[in-house]
Structure 1
Amino acid sequence: MQGTTDVRSSDSNGSLWRKPVSGVVKTLLLVYAAVTLYPLYWLMISAFKSNQEFFNRPYAWPQNFQIDNITRAWDLGKMGQALINSTIVTLAAVVLTIVLGTLAAYALERFTFKMNNIIKGIFLLGMLIPIHSTLVPLFIFMNKIGLLDTYWSLILPYTAFELPIAIFLGMAYLASIPREVEEAAMIDGNGWWGVFGRIIFPLCLPVISTVTILAFLRFWNDFSFALVFINSQALKTLPLSLSLFSDGFGTDYSLTMGAMFIAVIPTIVIYLIFQEQIMKGMVAGSVKG
């Protein structure tokens, strides 16, 4: 009886401690969410203000919504063509990253061969190289092979620099998938390509979604590579179009915010589509079995 009483008292004390701690954690999470979402809210209300109201009432709700900020930014910045260019470059680079990264992760995780550890080390080294330090040699290389000022001048570097992250996330996730699943598929008559296409790739959808959103954000918002490798107005991406509203003498903030509002919408849509899979992919690789 005494032991039972002690257990009950300890459980009640534990529950008394859990409630305040849970409340503090929830409060901190709400504060973090508010701090994270506020810049997006500020961007959206600023996109509908005049320049005068932007400076006089920077944090207030717009008195008169300036809808023409969006339409003028779309026309002056040639946002339609820039949106098409960014979509082509980003989608092509994301698809290449997913296909090559998943295949490489599967080979490095499931197969044993002499160069396995060396190849893993090379990809790890790729994660340590500062991306922008390669701009000059890449510019010279692209110019010599005739890829400068083309879509491929962005697609290939984007894919190359994103592959290490995709491969290591994929390897961590594949480690949580039992090998018995592949053995059962082999018994059913599938070859290695059948196992990969019918079993492994569908099972890897959570980590593929994670890689997709990380790669999408990196490619969609890149400015430096597009600035160096793209000269033609017809091939300019969204970040380059945003720079048109600022020069050495000043910045038209109403048009800049309107253009940024247009540019950020696809990012929000992609995140909302993949958010559940992203969470699964980020945590699944940490648990085996």
Structure 2
Amino acid sequence: MSSLTTGSGNSGSSKKTLLKGLSGFGKLLLFVYAVVTLYPLYWLFSSAFKTNQDFFSNPYGLPTEWMTDNIFRAWELGNMGRAMLNSTIVTLAAMVLTIIFSLLAAYALSRFQFRLKKVIVMLFTVGLLIPIHSTLVPLFIMMNKIGLLDTYGALILPYTAIELPIAIFLGMAYMSSIPREIEEAAMIDGSGWWGIFGRMILPLCLPIVATVSILAFLRFWNDFSFALVFINTQSLKTLPLSLSLFSDGFGTDYSLTMSAMAIAVIPTIVAYLILQEQIMKGMVAGSIKG
């Protein structure tokens, strides 16, 4: 009897040891992944303060001499203040439109049954499959005919249309997790559909709003091809276009390019740090119910 007890005790301790080992190995993998993920940021910000000679002779180490003037020179030469303002206007406007239209469409598609619902969902699915850059030429012709070229609208409207399909599917998946009893109770209290959506559903959708916002922000803020094709006026150029000014057909000023890229990436990092908790909630809920 005592031997059985001893055997079961040894088995239990070996399982605990195995679980601890697996937990430690998992933490090690996460640490390695974090280092691999963060290293490009370290390389970018360290390179921003190097001279061109130091950039090539010491590509992976810290600067031998910290050139803080690189940041100010990149800001002035690239006219990055105006470019950042343009990117902010275009990105925020497209984000707001994407969130409004996607949440309204997701609410209707996830809560109501009506004719052509499956057709509409299928059309949004097709929107996910269309290569984005294949629309450049048709959009250019359309924008030229309606007089939208070289305006903020030439970027805001295509950005919104491109982001809507994924935003709608994320919204549908998340709203499916919200109990319908909330709407029934609100209707008993006399609320209409708009009141239910505005006062009940919308506050509960903050996680998915954060998720859609950061995905849209990354796409809009970093876009180069649409801005290059649709914007020609210098005063309307966005940040990605201003980064191209540091490179020409004969060479690239890497110290200024890295400094400009470091400036451009800071808003993205700040936005993600602010919204990271809500983003995780929205992703988890969407994946469970989707």
Report the TM range for the smaller structure's normalisation: over 0.9
Amino acid paired to 2:198: G
Partner of 1:111: 112
Could you say which residue in structure 2 is the equivalent of 1:41? 42
Q: Is 116-125 or 58-67 further displaced after alignment?
A: 58-67
- Give the structure 1 partner of residue 15 of structure 2: 14
> 58-67 or 115-124: which moved more?
58-67
Alignment-derived partner of residue 134 in structure 2: 133
Correspondence 1:219 to 2:241: no
Counterpart residue number, 1:253: 254
Alignment RMSD, CA only?
A: 1.6
Structure 1 counterpart SS, 2:287: coil
Uncovered stretches (5+) of structure 1, i.e. residues with no partner: none
Sequence identity (%): 72
Query: By how many angstroms is 1:266 displaced?
Result: 0.3
Using the TM superposition, give the Cα deviation of residue 285 of structure 1 relative to its aligned residue in structure 2, in angstroms. 2.2
Partner of 1:280: 281
TM-score, normalised via structure 1 length: 0.96
- After the TM superposition, which residues 20-31 of structure 1 pair with which residues of structure 2 at under 5 Å, given as runs? 20-31=21-32
Instruction: After superposing the two structures, state which structure 1 stretch, 147-156 or 279-288, moved more.
Output: 279-288
Q: What's the counterpart of residue 187 of structure 1? A: 188
Equivalent residue letter for 1:137: P
Partner of 1:273, secondary structure, is helix
Q: Which residue of 2 aligns with 1:164?
A: 165
Give the CA deviation at 1:286. Answer: 3.3
Letter in 2 for 1:284: A
Give distance in 2, aligned partners of 1:199 and 1:8.
53
Q: TM-score, normalised by structure 2?
A: 0.96
Q: Quick one: distance in 1 between partners of 2:111 and 2:133? A: 33
Q: CA deviation at 1:40?
A: 0.5
CA distance in 1, matches of 2:58, 2:129: 43
Q: Name the aligned partner's letter for residue 178 of structure 2.
A: I
Deviations 1:9-41 (A, max 9, x none): 554333222111111111111101100100000
Alpha-carbon displacement from aligned partner over 1:187-244 (angstroms, at most 9, x marks no partner): 1221101100111111010011001000000000000000000000000000000000
Q: How far off its partner does 1:287 sit?
A: 3.4
SS at match of 1:287: helix
Q: Which moved more, 1:129-138 or 1:14-23?
A: 14-23
The structure-2 alpha-carbon separation of the partners of 1:121 and 1:64, relative to structure 1 and needing over 3 Å to count, comes to: same
Give, as a single letter, the amino acid of the residue that structure 1 aligns with 2:201: I
The answer to whether structure 1 residue 67 and structure 2 residue 94 are counterparts is no
- Paired position in structure 1 for 2:103: 102
| Letter of the 2:37 counterpart | T
Structure 1 pair 72/12, CA: closer, same or farther in 2 (3 Å)? same
| 1:147 maps onto 2:137 in alignment | no
- The 2-side partners of 1:154 and 1:284 are apart by 31
- SS state at 1:285 partner: helix
Question: Take 1:164 and 1:3, find their aligned partners in 2: how far apart are those partners?
Answer: 61
**Whole-Å separation in 2 of the counterparts to 1:272 and 1:242:** 24
Cα distance in 1 for partners of 2:3, 2:106 equals 57
**Count of aligned pairs between the two proteins:** 288
State the match for 2:264 in structure 1. 263
1:247 deviates by: 0.5
Amino acid in the other structure paired with 2:22:
V
Which blocks of at least 5 consecutive residues in structure 2 are unaligned?
none
* CA apart distance, 1:111: 0.4
Q: Say which is worse superposed, 58-67 or 70-79, in terms of deviation.
A: 58-67
The residue type equivalent to 1:37 in the other structure is L
Amino acid corresponding to residue 273 of structure 2 in structure 1: L
Alpha-carbon separation, structure 2, partners of 1:276 and 1:63: 38
Structure 1 residue aligned with 2:175: 174
Residue 173 of structure 2 aligns with an amino acid whose one-letter code is A
